[in-house]
Amino acid sequence: MKIRRLIVLILTLSLIFYPLSMDASNLETFGDELDLLEELKEQKRKQDNEVAITQAEYDKTTKEIYNLTVEIEKLNKEIIQADEDIKKNQEEIEAKKEQTDTVLRFLQLSSGEKAYLEYIFKAKSFTEFIHRISIVEQISKDNKEQIAIMNNLIKENNELKKRNEENIKTSEDKKVTLNSKLKSLGSKIRDLDSEGATIEEEITAQERWIQELRDKGCNNRNDKIATCLGIPSSTGFVRPLSTGVVTSEYYWRISPMTGKLETHSGIDLGVREGTEVYPVAAGVVGAIIPRSSCGGNMLYVYHNVNGRNYTSVYMHLLRFGDVEVGDIVRLNDVIGYVGGSSTASYNGGYDQCTFGAHLHLTLATGHTTSHRSTMFNPRDMIYFPDGYWYSRTW
C-alpha cells in the first residue's frame, strides 16, 4: 500500500498543469469554494499578463515533462518489482528456515558418536543399515547447502531494500524537479492540455456553483458543503456506458488531431453517437458547461464514495440529459448523450477537440470545477476490459 500511495502521489503532482495554492481535494466549506473562485480569477489575471507559449516552448516543455514522467514511472516499476522480489525471497527464507530447523533438530538428536551409532544400528537389515548411513551424510550436506542458500537470500533482500530506498529517494527528487518545472511555467502550462474547460469557463461554472450553494442554504464561510447538498453516498464506481470500448488512454498520448505528443486528462470511450450516458456513481450535478470549443458539452458530477469526495467529468456530449446544477443523480439517471461526431468542427460543429463519436471521462479527487490538479486515471477506480464491454458492472 505504501508503494501504491507513493505512485499516486507522484502521478498527482506530475499533473499539476497550473498551480493553485489551495488543494481542490480538500474543499469542505462554503468558504473554501469562495477562495477557489478567487484563486481562479487570480490565475486568469496572471494568464492575461503572460505571453502565450510558443510552439518551440511547447515542444520542448512537452518533451521535458514526458521524459521526467517516464523516468518516474520506470522508477516506480522498479520499486514495485523490488518489493515483490523481497516478498518472494522472504517466503523462500521462511521455507529454508523451516527445512534447516528440521535438519538441526535431527542433527541435535543424533549428535555425538553414541546417538549416531544408535541410529545406524537400529536398522533391521543390512540394506536399511546402508540407507541410514547415507541419510545422515546427505542431511549434513543438505544442511550446509540450505544455510548457504538462506544466507544468500538474506543478503539479496538487504540489497533490494537498499535499492528500494535509493529509488524512492530518486523518485522524490524527480517529483520535486517536475513540480518546480510546472510551477515555473505558470498558467502557460495550460497550453499542454487544451482539452476541457477554459479558465473563463471554470470561473463561470464556479460562480454558478457558489450561487447553487447559496440557494441550498450555504451562506456562511464555515457551512459544510455536504450538509447543504445532501450528496448521496456510494460504495464504488461503475462504467458510464452500457457498452463501449476504450479508444484512448489517460495522460500521455499521440493526439488524433495533430499527431503530436500531448497530455490527456481522461480516457476516451468509443460508442455510437447518441448513446445514453450515466453517472459513474450517485452524486450531485456540480457544473454544466455548454458548447466549449475544446470539450463540447461538458458535465461535472460530485460524488461521495466510501467517505471520500470525487468529481467525474463527461465531455463531448451531444446534449445534456434532463438535469440542472444542484440536481441529485442516481446510477440509472441519464445525464447526457454521447457526441463527438456531428459536434466536431471537421463536421461543421463547434467542438475542435474531437475526431469521432466518443465520451471523454475524467475522474478527480474533491468536489471542484478546477480538476486538473487532482485528476487521476479512471482505470484506478473503474475496470475497463481491453475489448468491448456490455455491462456497466463487472
Q: pLDDT, tens digit, for every residue of 195-250?
A: 677 778 888 888 988 998 999 888 889 888 877 888 899 999 999 999 999 998 88
- Please state the φ and ψ torsions of residue 83, each to the nearest 5 degrees: -65, -40
pLDDT of 330 reads: 96
> What tens digit of pLDDT does each residue of 272-305 get?
999 999 999 999 999 999 998 888 999 999 999 9
* Of 41-50, 90-99, 267-276, highest mean pLDDT: 267-276
Q: What cell does 146 get?
A: 540450505
Integer Cα distance of 233 and 187 in angstroms: 35
Q: How many CA atoms lie within 13 A of 214 on its CB side?
A: 7
Q: Is the pLDDT of residue 336 over 90?
A: yes
pLDDT of 24 reads: 52
Give the three-class secondary structure for 48.
Answer: helix
pLDDT of 26 reads: 55
pLDDT of 249 reads: 85
Whether 378 contacts 267, CB under 8 Å: yes
**All residues at 6 or more sequence positions from 120 whose CB lies less than 8 Å from its CB, including other chains:** 129, 132, 133, 136
Burial bucket for residue 138 (CB in 10 Å: 0-12, 13-18, 19+): exposed
Q: Is the pLDDT of residue 312 over 90?
A: yes
> What tens digit of pLDDT does each residue of 96-107 get?
666 666 655 655
* Of 152-156, 274-278, 365-369, highest mean pLDDT: 274-278
Q: Which 8-state DSSP code applies to residue 52? A: P
Q: What cell does 38 get?
A: 478567487
Whether 326 contacts 299, CB under 8 Å: no
Integer Cα distance of 73 and 6 in angstroms: 11
Integer Cα distance of 154 and 159 in angstroms: 9
pLDDT of 19 reads: 40
- Mean of per-residue pLDDT scores for the chain: 77
- Check: CATH 1.20.120.160 for 18-49+193-380? no
Q: What cell does 123 get?
A: 536398522
Cα 229-334-325 angle, rounded to 5 deg: 35
Q: How confident is the model at residue 314 (pLDDT cuts 50, 70, 90)?
A: very high
Whether 363 contacts 311, CB under 8 Å: yes
- Helix locations, the chain, DSSP H: 2-13, 30-49, 55-109, 113-121, 126-185, 199-215, 225-229
Q: At what angle do helices 2-13 and 126-185 cross, to 10 degrees?
A: 20
> What tens digit of pLDDT does each residue of 125-135 get?
878 777 777 77
pLDDT of 13 reads: 34
Q: How confident is the model at residue 9 (pLDDT cuts 50, 70, 90)?
A: very low
Q: Is the pLDDT of residue 322 over 70?
A: yes
Q: Which amino acid is at 44?
A: K
Integer Cα distance of 138 and 110 in angstroms: 14
Residues 174-179, mean pLDDT to the nearest whole number:
67
Q: How confident is the model at residue 78 (pLDDT cuts 50, 70, 90)?
A: confident
Identify how many contiguous H helices and E strands the chain contains and give both numbers. Answer: 7, 13
Q: What is the DSSP string of 74-104?
A: HHHHHHHHHHHHHHHHHHHHHHHHHHHHHHH
pLDDT of 114 reads: 55
Q: How confident is the model at residue 183 (pLDDT cuts 50, 70, 90)?
A: low
Query: Where do the domains of the chain lie?
Result: 18-49+193-380, 77-186
Cα 315-317-321 angle, rounded to 5 deg: 115
Percent of the chain with pLDDT over 90: 28
pLDDT of 197 reads: 77
Q: How many CA atoms lie within 13 A of 265 on its CB side?
A: 28
Q: Which among 296, 294, 297 has a CA at the least distance from the CA of 258?
A: 294
